[in-house]
Amino acid sequence: MITGSKKKVLLGMSGGVDSSVAAFLLQKEGYDVIGVTMKLHKDSNNDEGCCSINAVEDARRVANKLGIQFHVFNMEEEFKKYVIDYFIKEYEAGRTPNPCIACNRYIKFGALLDKAKSLGIDYVATGHYAIIEKSNDRYILKMAKDDTKDQSYVLYNLTQEQLSKTLFPLGKYKKKEIREIAKKIGLQVASKPDSQEICFVEDNDHFNFINQNSTKPITKGEIVDIKGNVLGYHEGITKYTIGQRKGLGISLGKPMFVVDIDAENNRIVLGSNEDLLIKELDVTDINWISINKLENKIKVKAKIRYKAKEETATVTPIDNNRIKVIFDTPQRAVTPGQSIVFYQNDNVVGGGIIS
Amino acid sequence: MNRIIYLDNAATTRLNPKVLDSMLPYLKESYGNPSSIHFLGRENKKAIDKAREQVAKSLNAQFNEIFFTGGGSESDNWAIKGVAFANESKGKHIITTNIEHHAVLHTCKYLEKYGFEITYLPVKSNGIIDIEDLKKAIREDTILISVMFANNEIGTIQPIKEIGEIAREKGIYFHTDAVQAIGHIPIDVKELNIDLLSLSAHKFNGPKGVGVLYIKSGVNILSMIHGGGQERGKRAGTENVAGIVGLGEAIEIATKDIEKKSKYLITLRDRTIKELINRIPDTILNGDPKKRLPGNINVCFKYIEGESILLMLDMKGLAASSGSACTSGSLKPSHVLLAIGLPHEIAHGSLRLTLSEETTDKDMEYLLEVLPPIVENLRKMSPLIKNK
């Protein structure tokens, strides 16, 4: 490693186009960039995808091309504890978790940031599309310039301390521009497709993944309607999510949706599309960003899942770690375990977990 | 410019300039194929013969018992698979240890899929096997014992002579992975009753990508690569002439004056270990303090990860290692450290420093100056120390 007077930044590199260009942009801004690929899970027979041998090699080749140092950190233990185990536990409790949010909170801006600090490195950076700005004495998280790629939703858990040590060099670019830069500087990853699915679940089959990794046996149970009439049987509640219509395995003559997952009684509850509409919900495990604390009720735009549209709502404090959200219009398939994130203009106000 | 101090000689060593000089003609003007009839071919054949003699002499083996390979891992693979499949009609049981290099361990795992049974002998907390365990493990159908000469991580030296005697008595083939030992310990394959021995040139200031398997005359073993008649038809393919010449030169130099070199290294090693333990609290020396390679230091600093220490040392111009070169970057706790009974969290905090004759007192002073504050700082950040 070279020691100099430049500020040092530890950049998480996945071998994809975003984090590769992030390395270039940070370099251009005058940082001493140290690239790192985190090995987060064992990918048995998979050569592609994040954490694979190919991903590490792609990242290393980019680092070599840009002339930056590169390391591989193994964080399988932390990832298992904070992301995979949480993912399984949530599904088993009848909730639908968002593992990327947990990974950002505990791994990328948790364990990796700790590692950076212990190595005397000033910042952690990633190829996320979001903007951090300092306003008065607070660090504000803002939506990215490219609203089709904005990832502020998955970053709402970052604390002021974490935000103060984080850099998102891509926030002010459009994805198209990033691909153009990659091409211009001759990165071989310029046309690599975007990653979509949960990185540790193969073939996007979370049911199979939970089956293989859970310590609890998967038990069959009843599928009922709202009144409790038995309509059929399910193969395990972890196979279902709120709002699901396909793959229920029973035909009812009319469209039916999963409206509730009753883990306690091991039951899946079906209802009509109207039964899925909810106006009011409670939120726990809250993190505030643009404000220090919620004193009085505020008007916000709220997003109930990563790809959902923002909808206007009123947020009211209940107690220290619990708030009530009332939407102006009812929302479809509000899913316990997912995160809700509040915005004012482009600023992330905060967010929490739908209970 | 920062100073560079290389303390990773178990991973690889600096190519000796004399060795490089011996290789250059075969990369430049003397480009013939050793199998060719003409003068350029003959010249190359002669060079290989000379190297084979140099190796044979260094090991007290015969000329026709030396087979050049692509390196230590290939030699290990060949020895174990070659003996196993050639002798399976006699039995399918193999004895090895649980601290072998992965080239041995993973080859044994592979053989398990083909119905071979492998006994992995444990080691004592000093990293050395109990010879009684070996005696007990031997069965009617045991065809091979493979025990490494010296361990690549903790440097511990196994009782090779005693193992060789037992193997001889029972009529079982004895292979030893001597990759780490060559040039540090005198090896006489006849005196030690060794039937097969693996070595690799780049561990003793030779070039990378070339090694040797010593196969005692009469050992029943399959060919490694089928093709032309090179290496007596056992390892086909046009020879890596420059590499082989370099290996011959390097082994001749490395096996000279072993005693003098060892004396120097042992003094430097023991002084450094003593000082590390003095200056850094909660430091554990891994492996037997005496029965270890002269240049090997392997210590654990409780409560922190080896990887972080390496990165910090790297910033100070010190090249070191945690565990073996192969496990760096994967951060799996070393199977060797787990085998000597260290718990997971302590095995993570290991640092391997492997010295060479070029390492000086001054280098070690610099290390002893920079390392204690690094460990102290990392411990301040460590979640493990908070739970102490």
Cβ B314–A1 below 8 Å, yes or no? yes
Shortest Cα distance from A158 to chain B (angstroms)?
20
pLDDT at B116 over 80: yes
Cβ B330–A74 below 8 Å, yes or no? yes
Residues in chain A: 355
Contacts of B312 in chain A (CB under 8 A): 119-120
What is residue A15's three-state secondary structure? coil
Choose the mutation target among B304, B311, B330 for the interface with A, i.e. most A CBs under 10 Å: B311
Cα distance between residue A299 and residue B321, in whole Å: 56
Nearest CB among A3, A74, A118 relative to B315 is that of A3
Contacts of B382 in chain A (CB under 8 A): 118
C-beta neighbour count of B343 within 10 angstroms: 10
Residue closest to B97 by CA, chosen among B141, B163, B161: B163
Cβ B381–A3 below 8 Å, yes or no? no
Chain segment B308-331, per-residue pLDDT in tens: 899 999 989 999 998 654 444 455
Contacts of B381 in chain A (CB under 8 A): 114, 117-118
Q: Does B24 touch chain A (CB under 8 A)?
A: no
Cβ A3–B2 below 8 Å, yes or no? yes
What is residue B252's three-state secondary structure? helix
Position B173 scores a pLDDT of 98
Shortest Cα distance from A3 to chain B (angstroms)?
6
Position B284 scores a pLDDT of 94
Which residues 83-112 of B are in CB contact (within 8 Å) with A? none
User: Can you name the residues that pair with B200 across neighbouring β-strands?
Assistant: B211
Q: Does B2 touch chain A (CB under 8 A)?
A: yes
Cα distance between residue B290 and residue B288, in whole Å: 6
Position B384 scores a pLDDT of 61
Contacts (Cβ under 8 Å, ≥6 apart) of A67: none
| Residue A222 burial by Cβ neighbours in a 10 Å radius (0-12, 13-18, 19+) | middle
Binding site residues of B for pyridoxal 5'-phosphate, as ranges?
A: 72-73, 152, 180, 200-202, 238
Nearest CB among B314, B329, B381 relative to A117 is that of B381
Contacts of A72 in chain B (CB under 8 A): 329-330
Higher confidence at residue A337 or residue B333? A337
Does the annotation count B108 as an active-site position? no
Cβ A72–B329 below 8 Å, yes or no? yes
pLDDT at B133 over 50: yes
In this complex, how many residue pairs, one in chain A and one in chain B, have their CB atoms less than 8 Å apart? 34
Q: What tokens were used for A191?
A: 């046309």
Choose the mutation target among A118, A122, A165 for the interface with B, i.e. most B CBs under 10 Å: A118
Cα distance between residue A330 and residue A349, in whole Å: 21
Transcribe B316-369 into DSSP letters.
TTEE-BSS-TTTTTT-PPPHHHHHTT--HHHHTTEEEEE--TT--HHHHHHHHH
Shortest Cα distance from A168 to chain B (angstroms)?
24
In terms of CA atoms, which chain B residue is nearest residue A72?
B329
Cβ A72–B381 below 8 Å, yes or no? no
Position B306 scores a pLDDT of 85
Contacts of A35 in chain B (CB under 8 A): none
What is residue B166's three-state secondary structure? helix
Q: What tokens were used for A328?
A: 């102006």
Contacts of B378 in chain A (CB under 8 A): 118
- What pTM was computed for the model? 0.83
Position B346 scores a pLDDT of 83
Position A100 scores a pLDDT of 94
Binding site residues of B, as ranges?
A: 72-73, 152, 180, 200-202, 238, 326
Binding site residues of B for [2Fe-2S] cluster, as ranges?
A: 326
Of B20, B222, B325, B326, the catalytic one is: B326
Contacts of A119 in chain B (CB under 8 A): 308, 311-312
Nearest CB among A1, A39, A118 relative to B378 is that of A118
Which residues 281-310 of B are in CB contact (within 8 Å) with A? 307-308
Residue in the structure block whose two tokens are 């899946």: A268
In terms of CA atoms, which chain B residue is nearest residue A3?
B315
* Cβ contact A8:A121 at 8 Å: yes
Cβ A119–B329 below 8 Å, yes or no? no
Chain segment A281-333, per-residue pLDDT in tens: 999 999 999 999 999 999 999 999 998 999 999 999 998 889 999 999 999 99
Chain segment B37-52, per-residue pLDDT in tens: 999 999 999 999 999 9
Of A50, A51, A100, A199, the catalytic one is: A199
Cβ B377–A118 below 8 Å, yes or no? yes
Does the structure's ipTM exceed the value 0.85? no
* Cβ contact B241:B247 at 8 Å: no
Alpha-helical (H) ranges within A203-325 are 206-213
Position A2 scores a pLDDT of 47
Superfamily of B258-381 according to CATH:
Aspartate Aminotransferase, domain 1 (3.90.1150.10)
Shortest Cα distance from B314 to chain A (angstroms)?
6
Q: Does B334 touch chain A (CB under 8 A)?
A: no
Domain boundaries, chain B: 17-255, 258-381
Residue closest to A304 by CA, chosen among A186, A153, A100, A180: A153
Residues of chain A with pLDDT under 70: 1-4, 43-51
CATH of domain B17-255: 3.40.640.10
Nearest CB among B308, B329, B332 relative to A119 is that of B308
Average model confidence (pLDDT) across chain B: 94
Contacts of B315 in chain A (CB under 8 A): 1-3, 120
Domains and CATH numbers, chain A: 8-202 (3.40.50.620), 219-272 (2.30.30.280), 276-354 (2.40.30.10)
Choose the mutation target among B309, B315, B370, B378 for the interface with A, i.e. most A CBs under 10 Å: B315
Measured CB to CB, residues of chain A less than 8 Å from chain B are 1-3, 39, 71-74, 114-115, 117-120
Cβ B377–A115 below 8 Å, yes or no? no
Nearest CB among B315, B331, B381 relative to A118 is that of B381
Cα distance between residue A142 and residue B21, in whole Å: 62
Chain segment B103-112, per-residue pLDDT in tens: 999 999 999 9
Q: Does B315 touch chain A (CB under 8 A)?
A: yes
Position B298 scores a pLDDT of 96
Cβ A1–B331 below 8 Å, yes or no? no
| Residue A186 burial by Cβ neighbours in a 10 Å radius (0-12, 13-18, 19+) | exposed
Q: What tokens were used for B85?
A: 């499949």
